[in-house]
Chains A and B, each alone.
Chain A
Amino acid sequence: MTRIPLTQVGQIESFHWKLVNDDIPSRVHFPFAASELSLGAAIELLCIERHLPESANFNLSLKLNNSHLWKLIKRLDWPRCEPGFSVRVGSTGFMVLPLDSSDWRWTAFLLIMQKALKQHCFPEHLAGALTGAVGEMVDNVWEHSETSVPGLVAFEVRHRRLNFAVADLGIGVLQSLRKNPHYRFLNSSMEALQKAILKGVSRLQGQSRGYGFSRLLKAVAELWGFTRLRSGQAVLVFDRLTEARKRVHKYLPPLPGVQIAVCCGLDAPASF
Chain B
Amino acid sequence: MRTIDVHKMTDSEMLIGRGGGRRDFPKFVEATFAALEGETVLWDWSGIRVATASYFAAAFVPVMKMLVSGGLDKYFVLHGLNINCEDELKFVLESEGLVTLVADEVKGGRVLSARPLGKLDSVHAETLNRVVRKPGISAKRLYAESISKGRTKIGMTAWINRLVSLYRLRLIKRKRVGRQFTYAVPYVEV
Which residues of chain A are near B92, meaning CB under 8 Å?
Answer: 208, 211
The majority secondary structure among interface residues of chain B is helix
B95 touches A199 (CB 8 A): yes
B73 CB–A CB distance under 8 Å: no
B58 touches A208 (CB 8 A): yes
Interface residues of B in 20-71 (CB under 8 A from A): 20, 23, 49-54, 57-58, 61-62
Q: How far is the CB of B97 from chain A (nearest CB, A)?
A: 10
- Chain A 42-75, CB within 8 Å of chain B: the 1/0 string? 0000000000000000000000000000000000
Please report the total number of B residues contacting A with Cβ < 8 Å.
29
C-alpha spacing A175/B52, complex, angstroms: 25
With A107-B12, A199-B95, A200-B95 as contacts: A136 and B52 at CB distance below 8 Å: yes
Which residues of chain A are near B14, meaning CB under 8 Å?
Answer: 107, 110-111, 131, 135
A110 touches B50 (CB 8 A): yes
Q: How far is the CB of B47 from chain A (nearest CB, A)?
A: 13
* Interface size range of chain A in the complex: 20 to 34
Q: How far is the CB of B14 from chain A (nearest CB, A)?
A: 5
Interface residues of B in 78-108 (CB under 8 A from A): 82-85, 87-88, 91-92, 95-96
B109 CB–A CB distance under 8 Å: no
Q: Sorted from nearest, which 5 A-B pairs have the closest CB atoms?
A: A139-B17, A135-B16, A128-B84, A208-B57, A211-B53
24 pairs across A/B with beta carbons < 8 Å? A101-B16, A102-B20, A110-B14, A114-B49, A124-B83, A125-B83, A125-B84, A128-B49, A128-B50, A128-B85, A135-B17, A136-B54, A138-B16, A139-B17, A139-B18, A199-B95, A207-B95, A208-B58, A208-B62, A208-B96, A209-B18, A211-B53, A212-B17, A215-B91
